[in-house]
Structures are given as structure tokens and as C-alpha cells.
Structure 1
Amino acid sequence: MITPDVAATPAEIDTALGDLQTHLNLIFARTRTLWKESAARIAPELQVGGYKLLTFIDRAGTASAHELAERFEMDKSVISRQVRMLEELGLIESRADERDGRLRVLTATPVACAALAELRSDHASRLRTVVAELTPDEIHAASKVFRLLAEV
């Protein structure tokens, strides 16, 4: 283990970065699986893309199709299909924007909000179990790493 007062060699840094990349790949794979499982818990027909849009709409309160397309870097036709499915499943509602009637404002239905709240509670419980052996400082350090990676 490298102590803070000893400079790491380039080889040690490369090894550590390789280990980090390996574990990030595993996290991404697990995340994709978790999204699939979560989408299926909400509705068996719900696709992962629709689940991601729904969670964003729920957390944001409202969103437009344009915002979703920009946020998720998806083609508007894909967004349109996913929004239509979410509406058909009774998970979102669409209404005219009060400022610009040409735009549609999307909101999660109470049924969707309740299902997502239950999922978030389950996910938080699982995460608490996983990090139970870590100190708050270690959790903060991990959070800092993820924040920095998200800004790249």
C-alpha cells in the first residue's frame, strides 16, 4: 500500500488506474442489470431507456421531450416512442406548457412516483449494506472520485 508521504511510481499509478478501470466496468455492468431489473419491477414492458427517462422526470418534477433528448443524448424519435410507452403504461402524464402551448410538459403519475420511491428505498438499503464496513470519510472519498469522474 502506498502511504500519502511516499510518491507513487508511474508503474504503481498505471496499475492502480487499471484496477480502477476494471472495477468501473464491473459497476457499469451491474448498473445495466439493475436498470433492467428496476424497469421490470415498475412494468414488465418497460424498457431500460424508458426507465431512465421516468426516473429523471420523477426527480426533476417535470421535463419536456426536448430536455430529455438533450440530457440523454437521444434522438427525438426514440424519446417520442419511449414517452408514448410511458404514457400507455400510465407512468407519465403529458400536458401543454403554460407558457408555450406547442410544448408538452411531462410529469410522473402518482403510481410511478410510488413505485420509484419503493425502488429507491430498496436500492438505498442495498447500498447501505454494501458500504457498511466503510467509514464516513471513506464514503466521502469514494463520492469525490465518482464526482470527479462524472466531470470528465
Structure 2
Amino acid sequence: MNETDPSSASDTPGDAIEHLEQQLSMLWRRSRSISHRVARDVHPDMEPAAYGLLVILQNEGAMRLTELASNIGVGKPSVSRQVTLLERLGLVRKQADPFDGRAQTLTLTEKGSLQLARTQLARKQAFRNRLADWSGGDIETLATLLSRLNEEYTKDK
């Protein structure tokens, strides 16, 4: 069976699941490799996990460390270590929470926003280059199916 040709997959659900698992595993391996490169594009000393934190802060705005940890489903100590690195690199800053002076919120610095936007622009261009021969319909179908799969992971099973 050709691993990249969907028409070569068997009609049985078990074979289709096997084919999907192989393709997702390959995609995740490539994604980890790309994540390392993307993080290094933001800052040479940044770890891949920290990139996701920057994106959350970009999308959600200021938030407490506990909210950030909850958002990605990991413990506060793991996020705290990444935030300390991001702070040291000048990409995020802590400030007093306007609703609770005892707490702090995290926000992107101007440098963090600019570096992140520059890297995201390069990533989007890389996607455009990779998918240049795909039709808009195929790209939309892939996005729709991936969205559906991601939604399944949010359901209690």
C-alpha cells in the first residue's frame, strides 16, 4: 500500500484507521521538527513549548500563569519554567493583575509581539509554498477534517 495515496487505503475501517494513524504519526514527527525551527526563529534560545505559550498570549491577551497552564493542559511548574525563559529573553513580562493586586498577569512585550508576528508570517508563507499545487477546495477539506478531529479530542470519551 502506498502510504501517501489515499486511494490505496483498504475499505475496511481497521485499515483506514491504520492508514490514518501512520499519516498522523508522520505529521506529528514533522511537526515536532518544524516546532524546533519555528521556536528558534523567534529566538535562538527558545524551546518549542514556549512558542505555544506566546501564541496563546497573542490570541487571548493578558492572563495569569495558572490560566496559561490550564489553557494548554500542563502543570504550573512546567509553564513557570518556560515563562521565566521567555521573560529573560524579553518576549513576555509580568505585571500586577488589575483585578487582584496580589496576582500577576503575563503579556507579550513589543519585542515578543514583533518576533512572533515575523515568524508567523514566515510560517504562513511556507504553508503557501507547500500547498501551492493544491486546490482551495482540497485545502478547505483538509482544514475541515482536521478541525473535526481536533473537536473529537475535546469530548469526554
Same fold, judged at TM 0.5 (above) = yes
Counterpart residue number, 1:85: 85
Counterpart residue number, 1:144: 144
* Deviation, structure 1 residue 65: 0.5
Is 1:41 matched up with 2:23? no
In structure 2, how many angstroms separate the alpha carbons of the residues matched to 1:112 and 1:137?
34
Tell me the matched-pair count: 145
Pairs within 5 Å for 1:3-42: 11=12, 13-42=13-42
In structure 2, how many angstroms separate the alpha carbons of the residues matched to 1:84 and 1:39?
16
In structure 2, how many angstroms separate the alpha carbons of the residues matched to 1:19 and 1:130?
22
In structure 2, how many angstroms separate the alpha carbons of the residues matched to 1:63 and 1:32?
26
TM-score (norm 2): 0.84
Counterpart residue number, 2:54: 54
Equivalent residue letter for 1:147: S
More deviation, 54-63/24-33 = 54-63
**Identity level (%):** 27
Counterpart residue number, 1:135: 135
TM-score (norm 1): 0.86
Equivalent residue letter for 2:115: A
Aligned-residue Cα RMSD (Å) equals 1.8
Equivalent residue letter for 1:59: N
Equivalent residue letter for 2:97: D
- Unpaired runs of 5+ residues, structure 1, are 3-8
* Deviation, structure 1 residue 14: 2.9
CA deviations over 1:3-61 (Å, ceiling 9, x no partner): xxxxxx852x3333322221111111111111111111222221122222122112222
User: What secondary structure is seen at the aligned counterpart in 2 of 1:102?
Assistant: strand
In structure 1, how many angstroms separate the alpha carbons of the residues matched to 2:44 and 2:125?
23
Is 1:110 matched up with 2:110? yes
